[in-house]
Structure 1
Amino acid sequence: MKLKTSLLALPLATLLPMTAIANEDADRLTDLLEPLETYRADFEQQILDGGGERLQEAQGRMWLSRPGLFRWEVDAPYQQEVVSDGDEVYLYDPDLEQVTVQSLDRRVTHTPALLLSGSTSDLTESYDVSHREQDGHDVFTLTPRDADTLFEELSMAFDDDRLTMLDMTDSTGQRTAIEFSSIEVNADIDDSQFEFDIPDGADVIREDE
């Protein structure tokens, strides 16, 4: 009986250090994100297939103000805007003259950049967090605890406490890699940056209806 008890206790004993490390990694990510009130940057985005072949690339700029305010503008090769006013998210495609409107709920904030504008506590509660150092960067990998997400794994890279890269992998193995430059942290951003006026003549699709 004593032997059985000791064998049952062994897996628990080996799990405890891993749990402690996981908590430390989540705390470390929280320490980096909590001071982030606003963030502005240019970006280059690449979409890669499961074999690493480049499928698409884009450039643009982004602004966010926590909680919930966000603007993402793609210049090339196809223009696109994503704007969150804290209640709704507007996706505007100028080529199609179409605006898609969604409520700012948990599923919407599971997109890689939008989730940064949310609560840090919600982030660390919704994802398992692990940390590693790579090429002088602090890299955090987030794995969703909820199966109803748009990606299976998300990595954030920080350089001198500044977010410099996002890397998302979806269920098909496709990767979206976003590299930020010209970064400004906690600079003043006018609230009008997060307002969206639907252009005259644009088709509006409300996905909550």
Structure 2
Amino acid sequence: MRDNHTRRSSSLMFAASALGLTFAAPIAWANDAAERLTERLDPLENYQASFEQKILDGSGDRLQSARGEMWLSRPGMLRWEVEAPYSQVVVSDGQDVYLYDPDLEQVTIQAMDDRVTHTPALLLSGSTGELTASYDVFHEQQDGDDVFTLIPISADTLFEELSMVFDDQILTELWMMDSTGQRTAITFSDITRNGNIDRSLFDFEIPDGTDVIREGM
């Protein structure tokens, strides 16, 4: 039972972070990489997609996998729903982030501080200027896709490298590696960019009987 709880807790943090695998280090620095990334992110008002995500250890063995749906709207709003293997929900309303596990009947609430907003999915919902000021940005093309790799300037981050893969103007993948060598890949499909999204998706009402844990508040 304890092992199951540990796997669920790990999976929930995985969903909250929305992290991805890294590519090999870019072969060259592109002086205009930050400008190219800005050109793709600045027009992004909202984004909706299905996703599949995998966590791999340093040797490439799969540790976890999941699938679900996500909605993002600027500034600072996100809904990330894991449908399988466990039902989990992460919601940001621009001020607080809610990590909800319906099976455990537990929700963890965190303020939108710097560390929380530097998780990859929430990075997309924030200011492009802050993004390019906080990371060294590299660019290369792979198989016709534009790959932007972000290296944090500050040591206090949740990842060591983050790559965003674009097919023209559409974000199709996130790849990340953390300090332990653990890697995560997120692939998006059924993508809608700058469509109509119901704003109520970013309002989270705590269900009756749910245990509430508040962190840093």
State TM-score, norm by structure 1: 0.88
Offset at residue 109 of structure 1 (A) = 1.4
1:188 match: secondary structure:
coil
1:46 match: secondary structure:
strand
Identity of aligned residues (%): 70
Task: Select the residue among 33, 44, 50 that pairs with 1:42.
Answer: 50
Higher relative contact order (CA 8 A, sep 6+): 2
Residue 64 (structure 2) aligns with: 56
Q: Is the 8 A contact 1:42 1:182 kept in 2?
A: yes
Offset at residue 23 of structure 1 (A) = 4.0
Query: 4+ runs of 1 displaced by more than 2 Å?
Result: none
Residue 208 (structure 2) aligns with: 200
Relative to structure 2, which stretch is displaced further, 103-112 or 71-80?
103-112
Amino acid at match of 1:61: E
Residue 79 (structure 1) aligns with: 87
* Paired residue total: 189
Offset at residue 122 of structure 1 (A) = 0.6
* In 2: Cα distance, 1:188 partner to 1:23 partner: 35
Q: Which runs of 5+ in 2 are unaligned?
A: 1-28
- Does residue 175 of structure 1 match 2:183? yes
Q: Which runs of 5+ in 1 are unaligned?
A: 1-20
Task: Select the residue among 118, 132, 137 that pairs with 2:140.
Answer: 132
Task: Select the residue among 110, 115, 127 that pairs with 1:119.
Answer: 127
Residue 103 (structure 1) aligns with: 111
- Which structure has the larger Rg? 1
Residue 27 (structure 1) aligns with: 35
Task: Select the residue among 72, 75, 85 that pairs with 1:67.
Answer: 75
Amino acid at match of 1:27: E
Q: Is the 8 A contact 1:22 1:128 kept in 2?
A: no
Residue 155 (structure 2) aligns with: 147
* In 1: Cα distance, 2:57 partner to 2:126 partner: 28
- Considering only aligned residues, what root-mean-square deviation do their CA atoms show, in Å? 0.9
Offset at residue 95 of structure 1 (A) = 1.9
2:113 match: secondary structure:
coil
Deviations 1:169-203 (A, max 9, x none): 00001011000000000001121010000011111
